[in-house]
Amino acid sequence: MRIRVGLVEDHRIVREGLRALLAREADFEPAGEAGTAAEAVELAGRERPDVLVLDVGLPGGSGVDALKRILAASPRTKVVVLSMHAAESVVRAALRAGAVGYVTKGRGLDDLVRAVRAAAAGQSWFSPDVAGIVREDSVRAGIQDPLDPFVVLSAREREVLALLVDGKTSKEAANVLGISERTVEGHRAAIRDKVGARTTADLVRYALERGLGTG
């Protein structure tokens, strides 16, 4: 399935760089660009992208305010915030306005790609440096942890995690799944990032607490 991705970033050189990098993803299709809050709202109404990557620091109005108008213009569009800020106030304002993902600019492109794919699949994805804020707010609100592996991990990542929990090495997991050991290691790194785990033991503990694997 092709994912139509709109891009809102006021710095032209950054926007052009992101456009080029995202174009490398075979399942991504460009769905317009904008550099101001007003242009972002117009873009959403005109192109109705599946996912809109939005920098909240925009000229001509707050990106958070623009987010609300973007969703009013195109309710089915999923918005992933891309920001240099990881301040709690900014993160919470963006999520209250309707963002389903939040990636800080200090992270790599892989994080943005994961967030876009998660959004297109109806899931949420947050950079590890803001995930703690999301967890804390969820606990306070008494709702399910939005970083539960069954919510934010891909089907393949869940398979890899289940095999690790059951005591398989990366090589053994690769043989079971019919993929390379290097690919399994890549999935392990992605899983650690998503759930905020530092070690394999942390991963196993996290998964067992949520009933994944036989233990």
- Using 50, 70 and 90 to split pLDDT, how confident is the model at 169? confident
Using the 3D structure, point to which of 123, 141, 159 is the last residue of a domain: 141
Domain co-membership, 116 together with 191: no
Domain extent for 195: 149-209
* Beta carbons of 93 and 133 less than 8 angstroms apart: no
pLDDT in tens, 4-30: 999 999 999 999 999 998 989 999 999
Task: Give the pLDDT of residue 81.
Answer: 93
Residue among 130, 135, 142, 146 nearest 89 (CA)? 130
What does the mean pLDDT of the chain come to? 82
- Using 50, 70 and 90 to split pLDDT, how confident is the model at 40? very high
Task: Give the pLDDT of residue 74.
Answer: 94
Query: In CATH, what number is assigned to the domain containing residue 180?
Result: 1.10.10.10
Dihedral (CA of 137, 141, 146, 149) sign: positive
Count CA within 13 A, CB hemisphere, residue 138. 13
- Using 50, 70 and 90 to split pLDDT, how confident is the model at 215? very low
Residue 215 domain flag: no
Task: Give the pLDDT of residue 150.
Answer: 46
Q: Which DSSP string corresponds to 67-85?
A: HHHHHHH-TT-EEEEEES-
Task: Give the pLDDT of residue 129.
Answer: 75
Mean per-residue pLDDT, 79-99: 86
pLDDT surpasses 70 at 128? yes
Comparison of pLDDT for 66 and 59, the residue scoring more: 66
Task: Give the pLDDT of residue 214.
Answer: 47
Using the 3D structure, point to which of 110, 141, 172 is the last residue of a domain: 141
For 32: left if phi > 0, alpha if psi spans -120 to 50, otherwise beta; the answer is: left
pLDDT surpasses 90 at 56? no
Comparison of pLDDT for 103 and 213, the residue scoring more: 103
pLDDT surpasses 70 at 119? yes
Domain co-membership, 25 together with 61: yes
- Using 50, 70 and 90 to split pLDDT, how confident is the model at 70? very high
Query: In CATH, what number is assigned to the domain containing residue 116?
Result: 3.40.50.2300
* Token code pair at residue 96: 């209250």
pLDDT in tens, 181-195: 888 888 888 777 777
* Beta carbons of 85 and 110 less than 8 angstroms apart: no
pLDDT surpasses 90 at 33? yes
Task: Give the pLDDT of residue 136.
Answer: 60
* Beta carbons of 70 and 25 less than 8 angstroms apart: no
